[in-house]
Structure 1
């Protein structure tokens, strides 16, 4: 905790008090939460960014989309549009935001919508003739105006919410007690081979109830990088001098996976909109070399002048163990709550 964050400690206490009162008002029904007659699964976290929500949503899409009509609903962070937008052939990252546009590009059979007002967004989705059977809410753990039927809470292995504190002293959006709303907690970004003894210790540290399930996952990097019309093996690209580019919350694992001693790394803020000046800087830094970026950044850059030298590294969330139990919990919830 740096000095400034220590100085801001009284504001963290005040912020924690305000968010706790808000949650109590929702829990007691004084503030209204809206439920819907379709399965609604909310994925989110207690902290600010960087817990792996996007690969977790994609995992759920892969699990459910062969059996049900799926829609994702996100806020559309830093998009340039307003209100409710349902992705169509005119969609791009500026209209939807980078993560929803990534869903739209990868899963053409899934409806992708954005709306800061999740209640309105769900209402709009269900008013369509071709309405979804299941709705996945992206980054909506604190969106109490919707009462989801199932909550998945993510927390990073290296930054557990049990070790954190309220903003601005720490990174928590609400107090640790908010975890009580979760049906499932997923500890993300774990080492690939996390011993079961350490898994048990983490469960105790998070103080989960007997009814809450916990799972452990890691970021599984692909063995190839992808460009507009080309696939290159990671082993081959690792030996080549290149520019590594990331505009995500915690880019270091991405850099570490690909980097060699001749590479340069260039970092931008999370969800960054790349300006013409940025593109010039990137192109000059690359100096004719390949530019390798994250999948989230690629959707914002693929139509730029960098495309001829631009590639991305696909990732997915993989469970260390017991993934069948996770799948069964989700599938049983959906089957039980599907509108007849």
Structure 2
């Protein structure tokens, strides 16, 4: 698949994963020795994270947990970095009923806002500052969900949910070793064909709704961490992927790009399809089309639903 560059890529992944995992382990040692002291927020904090650097299905888990919390009548605050948005450095808050500009808040917070509109979303690399901003302006929440929080140490966490795939450090970049899973409250297997070790507590699959008219032909455009899994899910749902345009995670688009995608798909008598994470950026550009499909996965529990409920909600 990677031709002559395969050995170098393999070596780079192994070395990069080992160094990043070691750095994370050092931070955990410092926490246990009391050298680093995380802040207690005074409310229940539920962290959702992963071992690998992107593509583990973390964001759908955040959405699922936030929706369940809102259904239980809880006031929910999600803390998200807002990668590549202006608020990553300056900070900001997305309010229920308000607008979300991905250029300001980043694509992932914009997606969270669209999927869980009742949640407060504090955005910024400084999660403590984001939380203080939320409390100061909008009151104390009942529950904080720390997005991408497994390696985050500045905030004390009550529950650690970790998304795990079948991938290994030889295939994708890891920022934590599997030995770190002993610190997890709940390990959730999200993707892959072979069960990872150690055995996960929960198994889910990220599924897409089937097309209404049988096998729909699509042009698929993705700018996410695991583009091939999106294509696989689309095929499993019954879509025929005529063409798959793969862009970097958090990709930026222009209106000219989108019009080109639409024209290309129309020539092949296919609909244009993209992910929810990409769609929030397309929408902010004023793009719309009746020939567009937004593929946003739903969490389907295969096993471990009872454990999930017990750890997260005590039921």
- Smaller-chain TM-score bracket: 0.7 to 0.9
> Secondary structure of the residue that 1:238 maps to in structure 2?
coil
Contact 1:283 1:306 in 2 (8 A): no
Deviation digits for residues 88-130 of structure 1 (CA, Å, limit 9, x no counterpart): 4342221221121122123222112211111222222233343
Name the counterpart of 1:3. 7
Q: Aligned in 2, Cα 1:177/1:247: closer, same or farther, shift over 3 Å?
A: same
RMSD of aligned alpha carbons:
2.7
Equivalence map 1:1-340=2 (5 Å): 2-8=6-12, 13-66=18-71, 67-81=73-87, 82-88=89-95, 89-156=98-165, 158-159=166-167, 163-164=168-169, 171-189=173-191, 202=196, 205-206=197-198, 214-223=201-210, 234-236=211-213, 238-239=215-216, 241-258=217-234, 263-287=242-266, 289-304=270-285, 306-308=287-289, 309-332=291-314
Structure 1 runs not aligned, ≥5 long = 192-197, 208-212, 224-233, 334-340
Deviation digits for residues 191-211 of structure 1 (CA, Å, limit 9, x no counterpart): 6xxxxxx86xx4xx327xxxx
Kindly state the Cα deviation for residue 52 of structure 1 after the two structures are TM-superposed. 0.7
> Secondary structure of the residue that 2:261 maps to in structure 1?
helix
Contact 1:44 1:139 in 2 (8 A): yes
Kindly state the Cα deviation for residue 190 of structure 1 after the two structures are TM-superposed. 5.1
Aligned residues: 300
Q: Aligned in 2, Cα 1:107/1:125: closer, same or farther, shift over 3 Å?
A: same
Contact 1:63 1:327 in 2 (8 A): no
**Superposition TM-score, scaled by structure 1 size:** 0.79
Contact 2:185 2:311 in 1 (8 A): no
Name the counterpart of 1:194. none
